[in-house]
Every structure is written in structure tokens, then in C-alpha cells.
């Protein structure tokens, strides 16, 4: 096993969990770098929060839509990619803590991501980042354990439902909608 200091010497940054704020009244989303972005649409459901917003300055994609799903510890996102930057997945799931409130929702990303290709696969990514964060004291072991459990539950649920995100979430009473582009 590699010494954690060795990865730091190679210049690989280990970052603390990323936090975002979703201000429903101001119709803004403050990203992990503190940049406040206008949100075109928020929709609150008893089980989650939908947001749609442009992504100015991003070469890879020009728009994103997300559903924050607190009970599952997931954020499901559809990226609207620019030509030449398309990816082979339909949905991108972030594992984390999503905290609802009347006017402002908050999130803390727990490193793990799942790329879902409808009908064929779910790929878990960034396990190394999660382990590095725990090793360097940036994330408590019990929080990491909860993140792994959530990721495993999601991959298992997706597999049992033919890698169909909506089919899996229907069992939880969650009906996601997405813009047509």
C-alpha cells in the first residue's frame, strides 16, 4: 500500500468534502468554490429537490439538471454536453448528505460517484478519493461507511432494475422529470 504522503508529493490534491447551497428564495446555487449561479428552476417534492441551471464557462457541458434525494443520500444529475464532450453515461449520481430546509438546502459530497448507462451498467468511481479523505482525517470513518453503504445500495438497486434509474426510484415513490433538449 502506498504511503499517503507519497501521493501528496506527486501533487495530487486531497480536498475536503465539497459543500453546496441551494437557495430557493434567491433562486441561486452556490457551488463548492463559492461561486453563486442563477437557477432557472427549482421544484420541491416531499422526497427531493429538482434544480436546472446553465453552467457558464464550462467547456464540457452547458446546462445541468439535478435531483437531490436526501433519503437515499444521492444527487442524480443529467449534464447537457457540448458537441465533442459527450460521455457514455446518462446519469451521474453523487453520494453525499443532502439536507432539506424551508428556504435553503445544503449538500456535502462524500466523494463516491456512480455513472449510470441506462439499460447496461452502473460504474462506481472515486473510491480512492474517499479512502484518502478518511486516511487524512477529512472525513470521519462512520460517514465514509455510510457513503459506501449508500453507493452499494444504489448499484444493487440499479442492477436489480435493469440499470433503469427511474424504475429503481419508483419503488421509493420518486418520479423524476427532466427537460427535453
Number of separate helices (H) and strands (E) present in the chain? 4, 10
Cell 460521455 -> residue: 87
Residues 116-160 pLDDT 10s = 999 999 999 999 999 999 999 999 999 999 999 999 999 999 999
Residues 27-72 pLDDT 10s = 999 999 999 999 999 999 999 999 999 887 777 768 899 999 999 9
Q: Which pTM was predicted?
A: 0.89
Q: Which residues pair with 65 in a beta bridge?
A: 52, 78
- pLDDT in the model for residue 81: 73
C-alpha distances (whole Å) from 145 to each of 134, 140, 150 are 10, 9, 9
Judged by phi (left if over 0) then psi (alpha if -120 to 50, else beta), residue 100 lies in beta
Please state the φ and ψ torsions of residue 4, each to the nearest 5 degrees.
-55, -35
Does 4 have pLDDT greater than 50?
A: no
- Any idea which architecture 4-170 has in CATH? Beta Barrel (2.40)
Does 83 have pLDDT greater than 90?
A: no
Whole-angstrom Cα distance, residue 74 to residue 114? Answer: 10
Does 6 have pLDDT greater than 50?
A: no
- pLDDT in the model for residue 16: 94
- pLDDT in the model for residue 181: 54
- pLDDT in the model for residue 97: 98
**Hey, what's the torsion of the CAs at 113, 108, 69, 161, to 10 degrees?**
20
- pLDDT in the model for residue 85: 60
- pLDDT in the model for residue 87: 67
Between residues 85 and 44, the one the model is more confident about: 44
Confidence band, pLDDT 50/70/90 cuts, at residue 3: very low
Whole-angstrom Cα distance, residue 105 to residue 100? Answer: 5
Amino acid at each position: 500500500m502506498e504511503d499517503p504522503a507519497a501521493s501528496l508529493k506527486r501533487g495530487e490534491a486531497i480536498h475536503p468534502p465539497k459543500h453546496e447551497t441551494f437557495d430557493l428564495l434567491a433562486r441561486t446555487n452556490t457551488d463548492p468554490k463559492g461561486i453563486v449561479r442563477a437557477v432557472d428552476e427549482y421544484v420541491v417534492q416531499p422526497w427531493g429537490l429538482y434544480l436546472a441551471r446553465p453552467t457558464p464557462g464550462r467547456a464540457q457541458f452547458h446546462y445541468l439538471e439535478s435531483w437531490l434525494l436526501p433519503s437515499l443520500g444521492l444527487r442524480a444529475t443529467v449534464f447537457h454536453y457540448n458537441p465533442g464532450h459527450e460521455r457514455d453515461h446518462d446519469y451521474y449520481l453523487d453520494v453525499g448528505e443532502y439536507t432539506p430546509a424551508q428556504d435553503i438546502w445544503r449538500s456535502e459530497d462524500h466523494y463516491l460517484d456512480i455513472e449510470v448507462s441506462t439499460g447496461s451498467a452502473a460504474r462506481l468511481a472515486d473510491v480512492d478519493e474517499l479512502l484518502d479523505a478518511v486516511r487524512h482525517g477529512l472525513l470521519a470513518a462512520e460517514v465514509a461507511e455510510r457513503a459506501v453503504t449508500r453507493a452499494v445500495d444504489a448499484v444493487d438497486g440499479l442492477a436489480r432494475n435493469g440499470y433503469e434509474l427511474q424504475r429503481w426510484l419508483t419503488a421509493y415513490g420518486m418520479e423524476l422529470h427532466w427537460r427535453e433538449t
